[in-house]
Amino acid sequence: MRFVETRAALLFISPWILGFLIFTAWPVINSAYLSLTDYDVINDPSFVGFDNYKTLFEDPKVGLALRNTFIFMVMSVPTQLVVSLGLALLLNSATRATGFFRTAFFLPKMTPPVAVGILLLMLFNGQSGLINGFLGIFGIDGPAWTTDPNWVKPGLVLMSLWTVGSSVVIILAALRGVPQELYDSAVVDGAGWWKRTLRITVPMISPTLFFLFIVDSINALQSFTEAYTAFFGSGNTTYSNDAALFYAIYLFQQAFEFLHMGYASALAWLLFIVIMAITVVQILVTRRFVHYEGGNP
Amino acid sequence: MRRARLILTWTALSAFAIAFIYPFVWLLSASFKPRSEVFDHRLIPETFTFDNYIQVWQEAPLALWMLNTLFVTVLAAVAVTITSAMVAWGFAYFRFPGRGALFGVVLGTMMLPGAVTMIPVFLIWNSLGMVGTLTPLWAQNLFGSAFYIFLLRQFFLGLPREPFEAAKIDGANNWQIFTRVALPLCKPAVVVTLLFEFQAAWTDLMRPLIYLRDSSTFTVPRGLKALLDQFGFGGEWHWEIVMTASVITTIPMIILFFLGQKHFVKGIATTGSKG
């Protein structure tokens, strides 16, 4: 009987097992091997030991890409969290038409990232963009967001705020789960809105905020499409910009534009280590600010 | 006091809603403007024209790109839903030695950045002679996907066991229990999986960049990037074409959202999916 059940289970699971072996286990092993070789797809890989990893540390573009990616993460993740928390709090305190507003905030998330990259170029264009036009109303002479290296990343960060919709939805769901009694007793104690938000709401939804913080950081470290669309690609000499060279973009270029498959594999493993290291540090540092009902696990 | 706060909340919400929706309206409006007026920031075009749409259709094989994308998207979504549901059911319904450990491996694969497997997976498709075809964009979905397996398993675990025991007593075999009893009961989770994967496959740029070479095989996002490179950067400066193509690429996703709004919102809220 036991055997029959196990056999049936394995039959159901078999697609995943096959896929795991072909598209995860074997690629992981092969990637580790390739990272020790020179390989251009046409000729056989030639073993070079740890040369690729040595090159990583001497390649100025690796340092640049890591710095760009890190700066983008540090700027975008907290801003996205604050904005999505603010929007969710607003939505939560509205009594009517919340559905309409939620749709308005979520809709940009449906835009394909390529189109977001294109919108970035249009909206943030230094001369004729909508953003600088808007700033002009207040007499502010907006920067050249799409060409000035100092303003490229802030532009990408601001654009990323347009697609915080899914975070808003996730935080809103968490807000709805905070028991009303907590607020009622706080009101009796005379606590104002700010105090209630900081002392009750934020601690109560801190597991959700913590989750978003970690996931958003991991995503930011791998961000590719918007920046690649707007600042790289064939024929792009006008907007091509080292300030937007994110790590995933450099890896893609090495692998599929220069066909340095061995070197790109080493780049991929460095990314894996960087993501792991940053995630572990973030978890260790932020964990004590997270409040779990029924004690910390 | 309470009234004042409500008015303040509403004003803030409306201001943000306008800020979020405005780029859409601006883009849509620009797609109906002649080239010289694209950046005039008028919400209603001074000169209203359909020329951009006609020109995009002439400059690019948009209909073909749409068909390619639809082909990939439907196969990707259907394949991943069926196989992920099967695997999820295997983990949720049966008891067998090593189940916990094996499911741990499923979750573990989600931690691995795509960059690590990207190159060897490309080499697999390359050795099969499939680079340049649409197959690599969806065929991997025939083996399920960890995130959806997780999502569907959670849903299956929440179902009562009685219907399955009853079906078993009635003589249904395992496959019949899965297809006739379990799947219909987990329709909401199936719909969420279909919608999520449909969106993911429709909007993906990286895989089409890696695998597609010839313009006739492009998906819409890949084609849009090609149009940007040609008309935006390439010195031709026809932004109105790029913008019109962006509108055409985005509209199917907006329609998808309104068709499945409830499921989208619920799916994201319960799984914490960041899309």
Percent helix, strand and coil across chain B, each to the nearest 5? 75, 0, 25
Containing structural domain, residue A107: 62-289
Q: Do A159 and A280 share a domain, yes or no?
A: yes
**CB atoms inside a 10 Å sphere around CB B171:** 7
Residues of A in contact with B143 (CB under 8 A): 15-16, 18-20, 22-23
To test the contact with chain B by mutation, choose from A18, A89, A114, A253 the residue with the greatest count of B C-beta atoms within 10 A, namely A114
Q: Do A99 and A21 share a domain, yes or no?
A: no
* The amino acid at B67: L
Q: Mean pLDDT, chain B, as a whole number?
A: 92
**Is B225 within 8 Å of A229 when comparing Cβ atoms?**
yes
For residues A177 and B163, give the distance between their C-alpha atoms in angstroms, rounded to a whole number. 31
Q: Do A143 and A182 share a domain, yes or no?
A: yes
Q: Are A117 and A225 in contact (CB under 8 A)?
A: yes
Q: With a CB-CB cutoff of 8 Å, which residues 139-158 of chain A face chain B?
A: none
**Is B121 within 8 Å of A23 when comparing Cβ atoms?**
yes
Q: Is residue A220 part of a domain?
A: yes
To test the contact with chain B by mutation, choose from A30, A122, A160 the residue with the greatest count of B C-beta atoms within 10 A, namely A122
Q: Using the predicted structure, report yes or no on whether residue A155 has a pLDDT greater than 60.
A: yes
CA dist list (Å): A64 to A46, A150, A269: 28, 14, 17
Residue B83 tokens, joined: 């196989």
CB pairs under 8 A between A and B: 260
Structural element, H or E, at residue A37: strand A37-38
To test the contact with chain A by mutation, choose from B10, B253, B274 the residue with the greatest count of A C-beta atoms within 10 A, namely B274
Give the residue from chain B lying closest to A217, CA to CA: B274
Q: Is residue A266 part of a domain?
A: yes
- Would you call A197 an interface residue with chain B, using a CB distance cutoff of 8 Å? no
For residues A219 and A246, give the distance between their C-alpha atoms in angstroms, rounded to a whole number. 12
Q: Do A28 and A108 share a domain, yes or no?
A: no
Give the residue from chain B lying closest to A130, CA to CA: B41
Q: Using the predicted structure, report yes or no on whether residue A297 has a pLDDT greater than 50.
A: no
Residue A295 tokens, joined: 């004690």
- Would you call A12 an interface residue with chain B, using a CB distance cutoff of 8 Å? yes
CA dist list (Å): A295 to A162, A286, A288, A290, B94: 36, 16, 11, 10, 33
Q: Using the predicted structure, report yes or no on whether residue B37 has a pLDDT greater than 90.
A: no
Q: Is residue A121 part of a domain?
A: yes
Give the bridge partners for A46, in sequence order. A38
Q: Taking every pair of C-alpha atoms in chain B, what is the biggest distance, in angstroms?
A: 74
Q: Give residue-wise pLDDT tens across range A89-112.
A: 999 988 778 889 999 999 999 999
Question: How high is the pLDDT of residue A98?
Answer: 85
What is the reported pTM? Answer: 0.93
* ipTM score: 0.92
**Is A173 within 8 Å of B269 when comparing Cβ atoms?**
yes
For residues A13 and B87, give the distance between their C-alpha atoms in angstroms, rounded to a whole number. 4
Q: Do A143 and A184 share a domain, yes or no?
A: yes
Q: Are A271 and B115 in contact (CB under 8 A)?
A: yes
pLDDT tier at B16, thresholds 50, 70, 90: very high
pLDDT tier at A183, thresholds 50, 70, 90: confident
Q: Give residue-wise pLDDT tens across range B53-112.
A: 999 999 899 999 999 999 999 999 999 999 999 999 999 999 999 999 999 999 999 999
- Would you call A265 an interface residue with chain B, using a CB distance cutoff of 8 Å? yes
Q: Do A139 and A28 share a domain, yes or no?
A: no
Share of chain A above pLDDT 90, in %: 77
Q: Do A129 and A254 share a domain, yes or no?
A: yes
Residue A16 tokens, joined: 């995943």
* The amino acid at B135: T
Q: Do A132 and A199 share a domain, yes or no?
A: yes
Lowest mean pLDDT among A36-45, A179-188, B249-258: A179-188
Q: Give residue-wise pLDDT tens across range A123-154.
A: 998 888 889 989 999 999 999 999 899 999 99
Give the residue from chain B lying closest to A117, CA to CA: B225
Nearest to A112 among B99, B143, B250 (CB): B250
Q: Do A26 and A91 share a domain, yes or no?
A: no
Q: Is residue A164 part of a domain?
A: yes
For residues B271 and A176, give the distance between their C-alpha atoms in angstroms, rounded to a whole number. 15
- Region A7-12 average pLDDT: 95
Q: Nearest-CA neighbor of B264 among A180, A164, A18, A170?
A: A170
Q: Taking every pair of C-alpha atoms in chain A, what is the biggest distance, in angstroms?
A: 79
**Is B106 within 8 Å of A91 when comparing Cβ atoms?**
no
Q: Is residue A39 part of a domain?
A: no
Nearest to B199 among A30, A110, A275 (CB): A110
Q: Is residue A46 part of a domain?
A: no
Q: Is residue A83 part of a domain?
A: yes
Q: With a CB-CB cutoff of 8 Å, which residues 83-102 of chain B face chain A?
A: 83, 86-87, 89-91, 93-97, 99, 102
- Region A160-186 average pLDDT: 92
Q: Is residue A51 part of a domain?
A: no
Q: Do A141 and A93 share a domain, yes or no?
A: yes
Q: Do A168 and A280 share a domain, yes or no?
A: yes
- Would you call A50 an interface residue with chain B, using a CB distance cutoff of 8 Å? no
- Structural domains of chain A, count: 2
**Is A5 within 8 Å of B96 when comparing Cβ atoms?**
yes
Beta strand A37-38 with A46-47 is antiparallel
For residues A24 and A32, give the distance between their C-alpha atoms in angstroms, rounded to a whole number. 12
Q: What is the set of domains in chain B, with CATH numbers?
A: 53-249+261-271 (1.10.3720.10)
Q: Do A97 and A11 share a domain, yes or no?
A: no
User: For position A194, which CATH number holds?
Assistant: 1.10.3720.10
